[in-house]
Amino acid sequence: MAKIVLKPKGEIGITVEAEVIRPEMLAAKKRDEIERLQVWQGSEELPLGDFFDVETTGEGSSDETTIVIDGDVPRVKYIGKGMKSGRIEIRGSAGMHLGAEMSGGSISVHGDVLSWAGMEMKGGLLQIQGDAGDHVGSAYRGSWRGMTGGQILIEGNAQSQVGGGMAGGQIVVGGSVENFCAIRQNGGLILIRGNAVRGLGAEMTGGTVAIMGSIRQFLPGFVEVGREESLKLGDLQIEGSFVKFSGDFAIHRTPKGLLYWREG
């Protein structure tokens, strides 16, 4: 087993694009090799060592490697981008695009994350103990194909467009979401334990979204199709009495999207 600890050296001004921080890139590298890896900050390419103190212990392949970021890094983007294996633990908050396009391994964050966490994720596990920004597990600008696999677990709240264009996998939000959660969803599962503001399931053509709290403005493109007691969705068992809707008829003649709302 190998452990690589990156300790932030201080406050970062212009955001740093650090897609090199993933097990595949850091595993089996010596401390000075890791420090010399190049990252972009604005128009400059600089060594990772300018931003982090690096310590390594043990040895191992990428799936045996844990990267620990020991502190807050809200100005560091793309951590774990495209990672396939291993572990990243962030003992603080993380910047945008955390775990974007990851296909395996796991990331856990003790604090909050900014927007685009798990963007177009294909597999693996992304755990966030704090709050998340916009576009969790969604498609990137212009694209309609969001997350296709893996799991995103958020203990706090998330902002708008959670699971935009989602085609597979699972997102669980312990708190509440804001606008247009599940927009253009066509597969996969989203569970919200709290509330949603408006636009929940907009232009949805497939997949499932379940909400246990309130929806401030419900979309007119959804039609009630039944009721269910105690929902079983994948490996999730949720107690309560649910109203089942189908939609979004505003975008499609025969949409296969399902929206469950817990009464009371």
Partner 1 sequence: MAVTIIKNGYVFDPLNGIDAEVQDVFIKDGKVVVGLTGAEARDAKVIDASGKTVMPGGVDSHSHVAGSKVNAGRLMCPEDHYRSVRRKTDITHSGSGYTVPSVYKQGYDYAAMGYTTVFEAAMPPLEARHTHEEMRSTPILDMGAYMVFGNNWFVMRYLKEGDLGKAAAYVAWMMRTHKAYGIKCVNPAGVENWGWAKNVQSLDEANIHFEITPREIIRGLAEVNEMLGLPMSLHLHANNLGHPGNWEVARDSLIIPSGLDPKSKAELEWAQTKESARRRQTIYLAHAQFSAYGGTSWRDFCSGASGLADYINSVDNVVIDSGSVPFGPATTMTGDGPAQHDLYMLTGQKWSNCDVELECGSGILSLVYSKSSPVHSVQWAIGLEVLLLIKDPWKTIMTTDHPNGGIFTQYPQVITWLMSKKARDDTAKESHKWAYDRSSLGGVDRELSLYEIAVLTRANPARTIGMAHRKGHLGIGADGDVTVYDLDPTRLNVNDPEALRQKFAHPEYTVKDGQIVARRGEVVAVPEGRRYYCRPYVDEALEKEALADVKEWFKYYTVGFSNYPVPDKYLKNPVPIPVNKPLEAVARR
C-alpha pair distances (Å), 256 with each of 104, 105, 184, 220, 245? 28, 31, 12, 16, 10
Question: Which residue shows structure tokens 């503001």?
Answer: 197
Q: Which is nearer to partner 1, 57 or 144 (CB)?
A: 144
From the list 88, 94, 86, 89, the residue with the least C-alpha distance to 111 is 94
Q: Which is nearer to partner 1, 140 or 218 (CB)?
A: 140
Q: Is 38 in the site for partner 1 (CB under 8 A)?
A: no
Contact set for partner 1, span 141-160 (CB under 8 A): 141-144
CB 224 within 8 A of CB 209: no
Q: Which is nearer to partner 1, 91 or 122 (CB)?
A: 122
Q: Which is nearer to partner 1, 40 or 218 (CB)?
A: 40
Q: Give min distance, CB of 142 to partner 1, in A.
A: 4
Q: Give min distance, CB of 143 to partner 1, in A.
A: 4
Q: Which is nearer to partner 1, 206 or 240 (CB)?
A: 206
Residue 24's φ and ψ, nearest 5 degrees, are: -60, -35
Q: Which is nearer to partner 1, 105 or 168 (CB)?
A: 168
Q: Give min distance, CB of 147 to partner 1, in A.
A: 15
Q: Give min distance, CB of 123 to partner 1, in A.
A: 20
Applying CB under 8 A, among 122, 193, 252, 256 the residue interacting with partner 1 is 252
Q: Give min distance, CB of 30 to partner 1, in A.
A: 29
Q: Give min distance, CB of 161 to partner 1, in A.
A: 15
3-state SS, 113-143, equals ECCCCCCCCCCCEEEECCCECCCCCCCCCCC
What distance separates the 2 farthest-apart alpha carbons in the chain?
61
Q: Which is nearer to partner 1, 232 or 253 (CB)?
A: 253
CB 163 within 8 A of CB 136: yes
The residue count for binding partner 1 (CB under 8 A) is 8
Q: How far, in Å, CA of 177 to CA of 89, rounded? A: 24
Helix, strand and coil in the chain, % to nearest 5: 5, 40, 55
Contact set for partner 1, span 81-140 (CB under 8 A): 139-140
**248 cis-preceded (ω within 30 degrees of 0):** yes
Q: Give min distance, CB of 13 to partner 1, in A.
A: 24
Q: Is 43 in the site for partner 1 (CB under 8 A)?
A: no
DSSP 215-229: EEE--TT-EEEEEEE
Q: Is 251 in the site for partner 1 (CB under 8 A)?
A: yes
Q: How far, in Å, CA of 193 to CA of 145, rounded? A: 25
Contact residues toward partner 1 (CB under 8 A) are 139-144, 251-252
